[in-house]
Amino acid sequence: MKKVERINIIMRYINNRAHFTISEIMQEFNISRSTAIRDIREIEAMGMPLVAEVGRDGGYFVMHNSVLPDVRFTDNEVKALFIAFMATRNQQLPYLKSRQSLAEKLLGLISKNQQDDLVLLNQILLFEGTNPHNPDLLDLSDLPHPMLEELIQILLLDRYLLITINEENVIKSYPIYLLHLYREKSLWMIEGFDLNEEKKQIFPVDDLTNVIPYPTKKRLSKKRILEKLSKQEEVINLVLELGPKAIAQFRKYHPLNVSISYTNPYQATAILKTFINVHKPEELAEITNWLLFLGGDIKVREMPEEVLEGLQERLGLYCQ
């Protein structure tokens, strides 16, 4: 590890701790005592307000109410940040305008040589969903739903929400405890525990028209919610064995709530176990399409009859 990179990491290590010793630095970064002392002295010279403690268990702590110095980025760290922005542009992510200003600040902080490298990377690298004729890092197309950022701001303070949904031009309100906010197939979804129905429900963010905190008096405790969810655990009804080709397809795309367990050290075979709600036509059609996407490198251990019938029907259409 280069010295500048090591010192940057040590500074982050120190920032996250109220107290540290030279021995801890030596052990954490596998360096000698003399090197650790030199690095700490250099960090002090950069302006980090360290206070030394004397005694047998002495060490250092960062002085409170002090402004910490800027952490410098290595060339590879700058490239990693830039490529992360590139890979996630045009994906309807929240805070897109803030991402734009952040990218502009990053470009303004680095050297001319580093900027030239990033310009070249921006010309060469293309990711899924990128328009090759307009590969601009700061493109503001594909803005997310305007309620997404408002929803995030509220749920950071309170996960008990009253959400208003427009369901086919019918306005409905649901009191929920938000479990997850996730993105699947380019759509943002709310997974919440419905406090009235006392069950898990999924709501598209695109249908969201309003969100406010839910009144405290009407809330169910988080402990009680988790207890009810554990009792409603869905029974596994789809079990598949996946070969290497099916695993490769799985890695390209799989539903958010579906995972696999590898059955050998080389990750060449795996077991897939999940629950399919056969009473939801949309979910049934989606899982049928996805199983066809996985291909023929699978063995069925257990499968609902409705899913099997759907596969046979689709395969029959292909054979006609």
Walk me through the domains of the chain, giving residue ranges and CATH numbers. Answer: 3-62 (1.10.10.10), 73-144 (no CATH), 146-231 (2.30.30), 238-319 (no CATH)
Q: What is the pLDDT of residue 232?
A: 75
d(CA 291, CA 307): 9
Q: How far apart are the two ends of the chain, measured CA to CA in Å? A: 62
Higher confidence at residue 102 or residue 222? 222
Give the residue-averaged pLDDT of 69-87: 79
Q: What is the tens place of the pLDDT at every residue in 20-45? A: 888 888 988 889 989 988 888 888 87
Which pLDDT does position 196 carry in this prediction? Answer: 92
* Amino acid 148: pLDDT: 92
Percentage of the chain exceeding pLDDT 90: 31
> Is 146's pLDDT higher than 60?
yes
pLDDT at 140: 53
Q: Is the dihedral of CA 126, 128, 130, 132 positive or negative?
A: positive
Mean pLDDT score across all residues of the chain: 84
Which pLDDT band holds residue 294 (cuts at 50, 70, 90)? very high
Instruction: Indicate whether this model's pTM tops 0.85.
Output: no
